[in-house]
Amino acid sequence: MNTYARLPVTFVKGEGVWLWDDRGERYLDALSGVAVCGLGHCHPRLAKAICEQASTLIHTSNLYRIEKQERLAECLVALSGMDNAFFCNSGAEANEAAIKLARLHGHNRGISLPTIIVMERSFHGRTMATLTASGNRKVQAGFEPLLSGFVRAPYNNLEAVAQVAANNKDVVAILVEPFQGEGGVNIPEAHYLQQLRALCDQNGWLLMLDEVQSGIGRSGKWFAFQHSQIMPDVITLAKGLGGGVPIGACLAKGVAADVFKPGNHASTFGGNPLACAAALETLQVIEDENLIGHAAEIGDFMRDRFKRQLADVVGVVQVRGQGLIVGVELAVPCVELVKRALERKLLINVTSDKVVRLLPAFVMQQREAEQVVDVTCELIKEFLNS
């Protein structure tokens, strides 16, 4: 169906931060399949793990125990400090699980119309519940009626959340991204999550973090909440978790970990042996190659270099980010830059109309990062002067 305005290029091969198209041209990838291929393209260890699992056992269903799913759950629980995991196949599905969990939690506590606080400019996916939760009219328009049970507050504004809550006795949870990716690479104040945590504790709400983009090392730690000395009740994961193989997860802790009972939620494919083998190897490679520390360094390096090269450029609003997400906000819409970068054999993204967004693989080296920044800066300057 006509759901994507695709760029006129077909990639047929990848290795590390490089992609080749069907004419043999090579491209530098600063987007990694939208924050998915953290290990770079076709990491030999990931490819081997997938091949081995594919020739051993691909799928059995969740009617039976799945050894690699149990091991993956143990890994994620150990890395995050959460208690348990539900596996699905995408970010939207992980958030659906979180939303259902919060609603059931509300019903268990006698709240018959449970309400979840969500944020302006947020993005949580394209299913009916997650597009309702998303704070972007473009994502919702034409798909009304939206779901009930959500109230919205501005991002990075604690007062507003407290105020929304004061007017609504049915609130059971907050669903929020530790940083907003699609919404324009918006990094909240340092104490934002701590303050939301305190508000949740005061009111008996669940703090549910959408770490679909920020999780699995992207923020410069395993999970973005680990920058702020708090524990969430629920976190959702997908994108980078399987290194390119579709898998999502909803992790829960404490009271939230005991909400679902057999029959409440399920997925045919969720956490199958193939997807879990890919995710297990992805986590192991990140650990063995110390990729998170490296990602954080490369991210800082890129932001510094952008700031220096764009310091006096009129029309550049701000360079920002965290870990290996880099955003450059311009004063004007700049979606055109994506095409111009493609002509220069560089893959970048523009989100929220005005924000150039880079999400390189964690394996990107300094020399490649320099090339990404230098070409992007040239393109930005040309664009602003034209």
- Give the interface with ligand PLP as residue ranges (CB under 6 A): 90-92, 95, 123-125, 177, 181-182, 210, 212-213, 238-239
Instruction: Sheet containing 316-322: give its strands across.
Output: 316-322, 325-330, 355-358, 349-351
Least distance to ligand PLP, CB of residue 287, Å: 23
Name which of 239 and 253 has its Cβ closer to ligand PLP: 239
254/101 Cα distance (integer angstroms) = 13
Which tokens is 300 given? 């800082």
Name which of 131 and 380 has its Cβ closer to ligand PLP: 131
Least distance to ligand PLP, CB of residue 344, Å: 26
4/121 Cα distance (integer angstroms) = 21
DSSP-derived letter for residue 189 is P
Work out the angle at residue 358's Cα, subtended by the Cα atoms of residues 369 and 376, and round it to the nearest 5 degrees. 60
Name which of 90 and 228 has its Cβ closer to ligand PLP: 90
Least distance to ligand PLP, CB of residue 122, Å: 8
A 10 A CB-CB count for 331 gives 11
Name which of 92 and 358 has its Cβ closer to ligand PLP: 92
Decide: residue 301, CB within 10 A, 0-12 exposed, 13-18 middle, 19+ buried: middle
239/237 Cα distance (integer angstroms) = 7
Amino acid in position 142:
G
Name which of 19 and 241 has its Cβ closer to ligand PLP: 241
Least distance to ligand PLP, CB of residue 125, Å: 4
Name which of 46 and 97 has its Cβ closer to ligand PLP: 97
Least distance to ligand PLP, CB of residue 248, Å: 6
Least distance to ligand PLP, CB of residue 59, Å: 20
Do 210 and 146 touch, CB atoms closer than 8 A?
Answer: no
Do 242 and 270 touch, CB atoms closer than 8 A?
Answer: no
Least distance to ligand PLP, CB of residue 136, Å: 11
DSSP string, 209-230: EE-TTTTTTTTSSSSGGGGTT-
Minimal CB distance residue for ligand PLP: 91
64/273 Cα distance (integer angstroms) = 11
Least distance to ligand PLP, CB of residue 267, Å: 13
Name which of 238 and 286 has its Cβ closer to ligand PLP: 238
The β-bridge partners of 226 are none
153/197 Cα distance (integer angstroms) = 16
Least distance to ligand PLP, CB of residue 386, Å: 31
Least distance to ligand PLP, CB of residue 15, Å: 24
Name which of 115 and 213 has its Cβ closer to ligand PLP: 213
152/125 Cα distance (integer angstroms) = 16
Name which of 53 and 90 has its Cβ closer to ligand PLP: 90
Work out the angle at residue 66's Cα, subtended by the Cα atoms of residues 61 and 69, and round it to the nearest 5 degrees. 105
Name which of 236 and 376 has its Cβ closer to ligand PLP: 236
Beta strand spans in 239-367 (E)? 248-252, 316-322, 325-330, 346-347, 349-351, 355-358
Do 236 and 250 touch, CB atoms closer than 8 A?
Answer: yes
